[in-house]
Amino acid sequence: MKNAVLITIGDEILSGNTVDTNSNFIATELKNIGIKVSQILTISDEIETIKKAIDSAFQIGDLIITTGGLGPTRDDKTKKAIAEFFNDEIALDEVTFNHLKAYMERRGRLEILERNREQAFVPTKSKVFQNHYGTAPCMMMEENGKLLFSLPGVPYEVKPLIKDQIIPYLQEKFSLNYITTRIVSVVGIPESILADRIEDWELALPENLALSYLPVGTRVKLRLTATGENEPLLQQQLEEEIQKLLPLIKDNVIATSEDKIEKILAEILVERKLTISTAESCTGGELAKMITSVPGSSAYFLGGIIAYATEKKIDILKIKKETVEEFTVVSEQVADEMAEGCQKLFNTDIALSTTGVAGPGKGEDGKEVGTVFYTVRVGNQAVTSRLYMPHLERLDFMHFVSQKVIQDLVGILISEKN
């Protein structure tokens, strides 16, 4: 199996200013064509550091992909480091320059600055993959059968370069082993008890299969990875092992294929032709965003309300003023009425609601930070629950709660079916 090393170049990652999402994207794409990422390295934009990183990466990988360090500004040094590492010169590439010129003209920039022109300079031995969404081209170097790809750092330039050009190139260049993955999502059982329960099954797995535990919120994802030459055979093998696993934990399994909870939900809603709406307070739109992040969600998601101010909960969602007065706005009763009002407003089969205090400041009624009530309403049945998560930061809180609400809904829909 081919091994890749990813090198992220840039002080903005090391300083904590930017989260490195490129590595995640590239790793997923490589995995799909059977290339394993064995290391990810984030380094500073310095020539010697870059050369040293390339050297050590080639000792463990057949393939290096670098991102970042190719901008038109003075603090980028990657191209120079690559040329030096491969004992090459940098020269103007006509094809790249014409591509760049056309790209900039399309954007109304008729005058090419010297530092833009510098971007069409590439190592003479490099193969260039043109960047259709930015000015820095992708360059590939090859030595002793090993490859180095150097890409810009902007995620929306990286994605099409990887997907449309580099992945097809690699598929043609190598004959690769396939890696196939299945995810089994398990809820309502702590990781350690789960591990005990499936221990015999785990120990008996064939050698080309590997198991990982990935806890996400209150769900544990079991990832089963199979490696081999024959893809259909791998899929069959995974299916067989999952069939052996299911009887051991069948009441706790919520999905055996899709990975993300919002996609698991999408599958169920589409299959059963159900519609859904949301009424959010403390999750501030995150719940709706998670649901709409799935392509095709407009088939079942009709809309949502973020009723941040209490009077808007009363005006738009028609919750009773007396309920707020009696129980406060962060209460089981208000969550319940929000879901009911939302279901009526959007006329959906399902409605979800959240009301709570994300913090760090206390809520209107002095309710403790980290408290949330949420309702899952399916048809005429409503289930309201409480969560208390004072240790989560604001954004993590919004995300955790949204994930939990969707997970509970999936649980209810699945138990309905059984």
Chain positions 142 to 171 lying near a second copy, rule: CB under 8 A, are 154-156, 159-160
Tell me how far the alpha carbon of residue 196 is from its chain's centroid: 29
Give the interface segment with a second copy, choosing from 95-103, 122-130, 236-244, 289-297 (CB under 8 A): 289-297
x/- binding map, residues 103-142, to a second copy, per CB under 8 A?
Answer: ------x---x-xx---------------xx-x-------
Which residue of 9, 20, 256, 314 would you call a contact of a second copy, by CB under 8 A?
20
Q: Are 412 and 375 in contact (CB under 8 A)?
A: no
* Residue 294 C-beta: closest distance to a second copy, Å: 8
Which pair of structure tokens corresponds to residue 47?
A: 């020539």
Cis? peptide before 360, omega within 30° of 0: yes
Instruction: Tell me whether strands 3-9 and 253-255 are parallel, antiparallel or unpaired.
Output: unpaired
Residue number, 141 or 329, with CB nearest to a second copy: 329
Q: Should residue 181 be labelled a site residue for a second copy when binding is judged by CB under 8 A?
A: yes
Residue number, 148 or 291, with CB nearest to a second copy: 291
Q: Should residue 176 be labelled a site residue for a second copy when binding is judged by CB under 8 A?
A: no
> What's the CA gap between 113 and 109, in Å, rounded?
10
Tell which positions 222-241 bind a second copy, by CB under 8 A. Answer: 223, 225
* Residue 37 C-beta: closest distance to a second copy, Å: 5
* Residue 265 C-beta: closest distance to a second copy, Å: 14
* Residue 215 C-beta: closest distance to a second copy, Å: 7
* Residue 267 C-beta: closest distance to a second copy, Å: 16
> What's the CA gap between 289 and 65, in Å, rounded?
32
Q: How many positions of this chain bind a second copy (CB under 8 A)?
A: 106
* Residue 103 C-beta: closest distance to a second copy, Å: 12
* Residue 112 C-beta: closest distance to a second copy, Å: 10
Of 345, 329, 334, 417, which Cα lies nearest the Cα of 382? Answer: 334
- Among left, alpha and beta (phi > 0; psi -120 to 50; other), residue 310 is alpha
Q: Are 307 and 355 in contact (CB under 8 A)?
A: no
> What's the CA gap between 284 and 359, in Å, rounded?
12
Instruction: Give the Å distances, CA to CA, from 79 to 151, 294, 343.
Output: 10, 38, 57
> What's the CA gap between 78 and 85, in Å, rounded?
10
Q: Should residue 29 be labelled a site residue for a second copy when binding is judged by CB under 8 A?
A: yes
Tell which positions 32-91 bind a second copy, by CB under 8 A. Answer: 36-44, 56, 71-75
Tell which positions 242-261 bind a second copy, by CB under 8 A. Answer: 259
Residue number, 391 or 417, with CB nearest to a second copy: 391
Give the interface segment with a second copy, choosing from 79-87, 170-178, 238-246, 290-298 (CB under 8 A): 290-298
Tell which positions 295-314 bind a second copy, by CB under 8 A. Answer: 295-298, 301-309, 312
Give the interface segment with a second copy, choosing from 27-35, 138-146, 241-249, 325-333 (CB under 8 A): 27-35
Q: Are 3 and 63 in contact (CB under 8 A)?
A: yes
Residue number, 27 or 383, with CB nearest to a second copy: 27
Residues sharing a CB contact under 8 Å with residue 281, sequence separation 6 or more, in sequence order: 306, 307, 308, 313, 329, 338, 353, 354, 355, 356
Q: Should residue 388 be labelled a site residue for a second copy when binding is judged by CB under 8 A?
A: no
* Residue 363 C-beta: closest distance to a second copy, Å: 9
Between helices 261-272 and 394-417, what is the axis angle to 10°?
Answer: 40
Tell which positions 332-371 bind a second copy, by CB under 8 A. Answer: 345-346, 358-361
Q: Are 315 and 300 in contact (CB under 8 A)?
A: no
Rounded to the nearest 10 degrees, how much is the dihedral formed by the CA atoms of 327, 331, 335, 338? 30
Which pair of structure tokens corresponds to residue 250?
A: 């069948």
* Residue 129 C-beta: closest distance to a second copy, Å: 15
